[in-house]
């Protein structure tokens, strides 16, 4: 209850606080018999507020004097709430997730000014053996996110880092989409800081969908999603063969740092999943092989949209030197053999 009240007070615009404080200060002044002084004040906002107040309540002089203690109390409360709004920072429990190289930088200074950050580090750079993930990588991700959630409770949570696509996707799936997660992105040209996704949508970015292998009889579907780099059919065939249904999805512009807004990523990821589910229903798909060439933020959102109940079993793969050597089962429910190796 207290936390929700804090968030509400934080959202009230400064202009409303200032307007209420001016009104209350004028009422307090009238209560102390200073109305003649107020009438002589030339400052437009105070003069207008005083005139408006008298027009609305002609008996304001007697009311303010009768209830002077009440109005002073209200003035103190509003001033205290305004000061609180200026100094309060929302507490944010954020997962810093790395599996390539742990980056020394964290959130940008601008982000740390907005939040009181408590970072939970998940370093999986040593969780590999002979080029493949160790069996416990999945449990590491699930355990760390559970720990963060249990500690954060009703406080805000967030995610940032540089990790393999299957790890990021699994993190998004584990977080789920039932509550807001603040997601931070590091632009390709800037290796110094992670900044939160913006709220201004990019309506120019759309999807181009190319379905292949329509006549193949298979209960498996390969989904290749390209936003940063173009995934080629040759790369897909080399790793996963050419005997499955294939859905190649790309944005109308391919390049880095295009998906920088919450609404844009939400819209694009929803559209991708809509195509996957439509294709899965048409061909009675039981397993989806997911290949993603995109940002960490987009891969995370794709994981959040994956359902354990309505979607086929999903395997997300890691790209390396023109092939996809391994993947992770996301929503199969299996307790063992969650790592898939492609013998290429």
188-201 pLDDT per residue, tens: 766 668 999 998 88
195 and 108 co-located in one domain: yes
pLDDT band at 187 (very low <50, low <70, confident <90, very high): confident
Given a cut of 90, is residue 100 above it in pLDDT? no
209 and 66 co-located in one domain: no
Question: What pLDDT shows up at residue 50?
Answer: 72
201 and 155 co-located in one domain: yes
Residue 281 has which token pair?
A: 């229903």
- Going through 257-312 in order, the beta strands assigned E by DSSP cover 287-293
pLDDT band at 128 (very low <50, low <70, confident <90, very high): very high
Given a cut of 60, is residue 344 above it in pLDDT? no
Lowest mean pLDDT among 35-39, 219-223, 338-342: 35-39
The whole-angstrom separation of Cα 114 and Cα 335 is 40
128 and 263 co-located in one domain: yes
37 and 128 co-located in one domain: no
Question: What pLDDT shows up at residue 175?
Answer: 96
Most confident of 8-12, 102-106, 129-133, 223-227: 223-227
87, 114, 131 - which closes a domain: 87
221 and 337 co-located in one domain: yes
Segment 151-163 shows an average pLDDT of 92
Question: What pLDDT shows up at residue 199?
Answer: 87
107 and 83 co-located in one domain: no
- Note down the domain range covering 316: 90-341
Question: What pLDDT shows up at residue 44?
Answer: 57
Name the residue with tokens 């997911």. Answer: 290
Given a cut of 90, is residue 250 above it in pLDDT? yes
Cα–Cα distance list, 248 to 190, 212, 233, 302 (Å): 30, 8, 9, 15
Q: What percent of the chain has pLDDT over 90?
A: 58
47 and 78 co-located in one domain: yes
207 and 77 co-located in one domain: no
226 and 265 co-located in one domain: yes
Phi, psi (rounded to 5 degrees) for 212: -125, 170
Q: What percent of the chain has pLDDT over 70?
A: 90
List, for residues 3-58, the tens digit of each pLDDT value. 566 667 777 888 888 888 888 888 888 888 776 676 666 555 666 777 777 778 77
Question: What pLDDT shows up at residue 267?
Answer: 95
Check: CB of residue 128 under 8 Å from CB of residue 152.
Answer: no
pLDDT band at 208 (very low <50, low <70, confident <90, very high): very high
Given a cut of 60, is residue 99 above it in pLDDT? yes
Given a cut of 80, is residue 299 above it in pLDDT? yes
Name the residue with tokens 């929302």. Answer: 90
Question: What pLDDT shows up at residue 190?
Answer: 60
220 and 259 co-located in one domain: yes
- Provide the domain count of the chain: 2
Cα–Cα nearest to 144, from 183, 182, 116, 171: 171
Segment 316-331 shows an average pLDDT of 94
63, 87, 111 - which closes a domain: 87
CB atoms within 10 A of CB 87: 6
Lowest mean pLDDT among 52-56, 102-106, 273-277: 102-106
Lowest mean pLDDT among 9-23, 235-249, 314-328: 9-23
Check: CB of residue 219 under 8 Å from CB of residue 284.
Answer: yes
42, 70, 87 - which closes a domain: 87
Question: What pLDDT shows up at residue 33?
Answer: 79
């Amino acid at each position: 209850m207290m936390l929700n009240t804090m968030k509400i007070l934080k959202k009230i615009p400064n202009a409303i606080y200032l307007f209420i404080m001016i009104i209350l200060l004028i009422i307090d002044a009238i209560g102390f018999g200073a109305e003649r002084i107020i009438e002589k004040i030339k400052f437009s906002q105070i003069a207008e507020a005083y005139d408006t107040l008298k027009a609305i309540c002609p008996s304001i002089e007697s009311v303010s004097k009768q209830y002077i203690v009440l109005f002073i109390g209200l003035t103190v409360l509003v001033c205290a709430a305004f000061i609180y709004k200026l100094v309060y920072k929302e507490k944010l429990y954020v997962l810093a997730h790395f599996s390539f190289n742990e980056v020394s930088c964290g959130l940008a200074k601008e982000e740390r000014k907005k939040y009181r950050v408590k970072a939970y580090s998940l370093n999986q750079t040593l969780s590999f053996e002979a080029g493949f993930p160790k069996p416990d990588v999945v449990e590491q991700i699930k355990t760390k996110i559970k720990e963060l959630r249990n500690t954060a409770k009703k406080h805000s949570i967030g995610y940032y880092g540089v990790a393999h696509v299957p790890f990021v996707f699994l993190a998004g799936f584990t977080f789920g989409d039932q509550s807001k997660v603040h997601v931070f992105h590091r632009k390709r040209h800037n290796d110094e800081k992670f900044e939160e996704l913006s709220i201004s949508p990019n309506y120019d970015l759309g999807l181009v969908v190319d379905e292949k292998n329509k006549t193949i009889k298979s209960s498996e579907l390969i989904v290749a999603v390209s936003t940063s780099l173009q995934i080629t059919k040759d790369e897909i065939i080399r790793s996963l063969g050419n005997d499955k249904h294939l859905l190649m999805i790309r944005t109308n512009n391919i390049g880095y740092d295009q998906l920088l807004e919450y609404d844009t990523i939400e819209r694009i990821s929803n559209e991708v999943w809509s195509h996957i589910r439509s294709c899965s229903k048409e061909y009675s798909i039981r397993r989806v092989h997911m290949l993603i060439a995109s940002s960490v933020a987009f891969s995370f959102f794709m994981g959040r949209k994956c359902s354990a109940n309505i979607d086929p079993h999903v395997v997300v793969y890691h790209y390396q030197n023109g092939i996809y050597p391994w993947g992770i089962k996301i929503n199969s429910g299996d307790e063992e053999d969650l790592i898939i190796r492609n013998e290429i």
